[in-house]
Amino acid sequence: MLRVYATSGEVVATTSAEELRELDWDRPVRALKRHLQGFCGAPRFKQRLLKNTITLADDDELDGPAELQLILLPHCQTSPTQEAELMRAAARGDAQQVEEMLQRPQHPDECSAVARCRANVVRAAGDTTPLICAAQCGHVSVVRLLLEAGAATDRAHQHNLTTALAAAFAAGHADVAQVLKEAVAQRGEADNSSKMALALEQGGAAGEWGDIFRFSSATTETPVVFRLGYTSKEDHEQLH
């Protein structure tokens, strides 16, 4: 059996290497971190597992009985340049680079106005986040990574109220919209994203670039309006 201890000496969880291989044969340590999230509440990116004072990599082997120590890290301080790097990587769908940056561990939502300007991925980016960029561009693998890191699904573009789910739906990325809709439902976030999910379930369809999407709120007859973070096909292509 594998026993994982907190720094306090308390047992966090016990499992077996065989069970972890069933979850992720190539990366049992990563599987263990995902398992531990249910106990410690921290995503795998903020976890470090030590065996005999040596930090384990995600693809290290876990054979036989062992005692591991779990260390939880805070998000690291990031510069505008690093925040812009994450935004650009999310916009172009570079899952490997996004994974590496989240392992710092970098906050998935942190992006200052200076960083958005340096990222230069969309005009008048406003409060655009890496998740909104990835969703709008249809990069489902990056969206999954950012969600796993705890990216907020209810954060909206400050100028047009477009959430990641609204952006994915409006751009016609049904696979991304489905992933985000499930995340919203799992987290129980009843906000603009949830309303957009309702529109998706009711069969709403995206039109030309910059279309306005209207649908009724579940609690009011007043139409809720979403605009994309771009106003032309040229703006959309800047994100790819």
pLDDT of 94: 97
Judge whether residue 120 has pLDDT over 80: no
Give the H/E segment covering residue 106.
none
More confident residue, 225 or 46: 46
Q: What is the pTM of this model?
A: 0.79
pLDDT per residue as tens digits for the range 63-86: 878 999 999 999 999 999 999 999
Q: Is the pLDDT of residue 213 over 70?
A: no
Residue 64 CB partners (closer than 8 Å, separation 6+):
17
The answer, yes or no, to whether residue 190 has pLDDT greater than 50, is: no
Whether the predicted pLDDT of 123 surpasses 50: no
Give the integer Cα–Cα distance in Å for 67 and 17.
Answer: 12
Alpha helix stretches (DSSP H) within 41-160: 80-92, 95-102, 113-119, 130-137, 140-148
Is a pLDDT exceeding 80 seen at residue 217?
Answer: no
Span 80-237: which CATH code? 1.25.40.20
At 239 the pLDDT is 46
pLDDT mean over 31-43: 95
Fold observed for domain 2-72: Ubiquitin-like (UB roll) (3.10.20)
Which region, left, alpha or beta, applies to residue 78 given φ > 0 means left and ψ of -120 to 50 means alpha? Answer: beta
> How confident is the model at residue 24, as a pLDDT?
84
Q: Which of 88-97, 109-118, 135-144, 215-224 has the least mean pLDDT?
A: 215-224
Residue 235 is predicted with a pLDDT of 45
Judged against a pLDDT cut of 50, whether residue 124 lies above it is answered with no
pLDDT tier, 163 (very low <50, low <70, confident <90, very high otherwise): confident
DSSP state, residue 45 = G
Look over the chain and give the mean of its residue pLDDT values, rounded to a whole number.
79
Q: Which residue has the higher pLDDT, 193 or 137?
A: 137
The pLDDT score that the predictor gives to residue 137 is 93
Q: How far apart are CA 31 and CA 51, in angstroms?
A: 16
- Structural domain boundaries in the chain: 2-72, 80-237
